[in-house]
Structure 1
Amino acid sequence: MEYNMARINQNSLMSLEAYAKARPEFRKQAIAHKARRKIFVGDHVMLQFEDEITVRYQIQEMLRIEKTFEEEGIQDELDAYTPLLPDGSNWKATQAIEYSDVEERKLKLVELKGLERHTYIQVGTQDRVYAIADEDLPRENDEKTSAIHFLRFELDASMVAAAKAGEPIAVGVDLPAYNIHVLEIAPETQTSLVDDLK
């Protein structure tokens, strides 16, 4: 199955019946694709970089789980997830703060308040680009942050050119309570991210 970066719309989505038939193969492809676009910053922060395939898969899965087939419900899912599509000059990612122990997670979400705004990407020797977080709705309050955030990293023309020229892409978090810099991401991840840039 081939997919392109065209905007996802109701006409390009599969019906519930068609998706049920295509799902085993599409799911396998989507999971492998998502794995290539996943970056771990230390042991407890994961960035899942989104694109047409990851977003399409998420929408189809939500429609399947909720058994949604009416136009209004389908449009609600499109409205919720298509803002995660990169626009050609940025990268968009779902950030998860992951602690398996529930009590530890509660404590860490207090300690790591603001982590999403301290998350950055750096292309080569260019300046760090800090995430613009949670543009749809606030996911942090006065006491704690959320375990899930939606991030946008906006690149200028020189950063785009550097990434396309093969300059290494680094990611990190520089919050004092969680200060980790991943010097270089996997080559297959870098290739996939560069594909997002126009």
Structure 2
Amino acid sequence: MPQITRDSLLTLEGYAKVRPTMRAEIIAHKKTRMVELGGHVTLIFEDEKTMRYQIQEMLRAERTFEEAGIQDELDAYNPLVPDGTNWKATMMIQYSDPDERKAALARLKGIEDRVWVQVADQPRVYAIADEDLERENEEKTSSVHFLRFELDATSIAAAKSGAAIRMGIDLSAYTVESFTLPENVRAALVVDLA
């Protein structure tokens, strides 16, 4: 899968001109790549388009135009672009009440390693979490994690042939039984596979 390069990014001025249109497109695009697991966990499956937008937004917010700063953003976000044999997702744990969130994050330690996907009747594939840095400590897990689901050739072929894709979480403190992805989400994720 193609990586985002310095030459493929818009300048700050160029991005300012297309930002409202691009933002609307990304919001619509993410709706087909979003999975809610239970009432408090949301996964957004990333791709080149979502990461390109994120990089452009970071460069805009930080007013970055120097080569080193641009390269730092590319180095941070390119690893979140799927490479053809996997799906990559940002997982957010959301509780609106701060006290409830604090208690939940303590109770949900390890959740990032218990999220799974399953294509057809193939074995479940558990997430490989936070490869860039540890986001959990002795007291709690983080409210944001980055997950990678590495698929074998059989699962890839089954997904591409239209097989159902299921997801779930099997942490005792937060269990989501097998949830079949809607067709629009399944179709969006298949595009990420080589």
Question: How far 1:182 moved relative to its partner?
Answer: 4.2
Counterpart residue number, 1:174: 170
Among 18, 25, 29, the alignment partner of 1:29 is: 25
Cα distance in 1 between the residues matched to 2:68 and 2:106: 38
Choose which of 111, 115, 138 in structure 2 pairs with 1:115.
Answer: 111
**Aligned counterpart, 1:139:** 135
Q: Which amino acid aligns with 2:75?
A: D
| Correspondence for 1:76 | 72
Equivalent in 40, 58, 68 of residue 62 of structure 1? 58
Question: What is the aligned partner in structure 2 of residue 7 from structure 1?
Answer: 3
Identical pairs, percent: 59
Question: Matched residues in 1 for 2:178 and 2:83: separation?
Answer: 25
What is the SS of the residue equivalent to 2:169? strand
- Between the two proteins, the alignment pairs up a number of residues equal to 194
The runs of 5 or more residues in structure 2 that have no matched partner are none
| Superposed displacement of residue 31, structure 1 | 1.1
1:161 and 1:38 map into 2 onto residues whose CA distance is 22
In structure 1, C-alpha distance between the alignment counterparts of 2:18 and 2:136, rounded to whole Å = 38
Distance in 2 (alpha carbons) for counterparts of 1:141 and 1:166: 40
Separation of aligned partners in 1, 2:142 and 2:184: 29
In structure 1, list runs of 5 or more residues that go unmatched: none
**Residue 153, structure 1, aligned to residue 149, structure 2:** yes
What corresponds to 2:191 in structure 1?
A: 195
Q: Deviation per CA, 1:38-81: give whole Å up to 9, x if none.
A: 00001100000000100000000011111111111111111111
**So what's the TM-score if we normalise by structure 1?**
0.96
The CA deviation at 1:158 is 0.3
Question: Hey, what's the Cα distance between the residues in 2 that align with 1:183 and 1:95?
Answer: 16
Counterparts of 1:104 and 1:81, CA distance in 2 = 31
Moved more, 180-189 or 152-161: 180-189
Contact 1:41/1:182, CA 8 A, preserved across alignment: no
Name the CA distance, whole Å, in 2 between partners of 1:162 and 1:137.
Answer: 32
3-state DSSP of counterpart to 1:144:
coil
Instruction: Provide the rounded CA distance (Å) in 1 between the counterparts of 2:177 and 2:80.
Output: 24
Q: Secondary structure at the match of 1:100?
A: coil
Relative to the length of structure 2, the TM-score reads 0.98
Which segments of structure 1 move beyond 6 Å, counting only runs of 4 or more?
none
Contact residue 170 and residue 181 of structure 1 kept, 8 A? no
Name the CA distance, whole Å, in 2 between partners of 1:118 and 1:187: 24
Distance in 2 of aligned mates of 1:108 and 1:183: 22
**C-alpha separation in 2, matches of 1:117 and 1:183:** 17
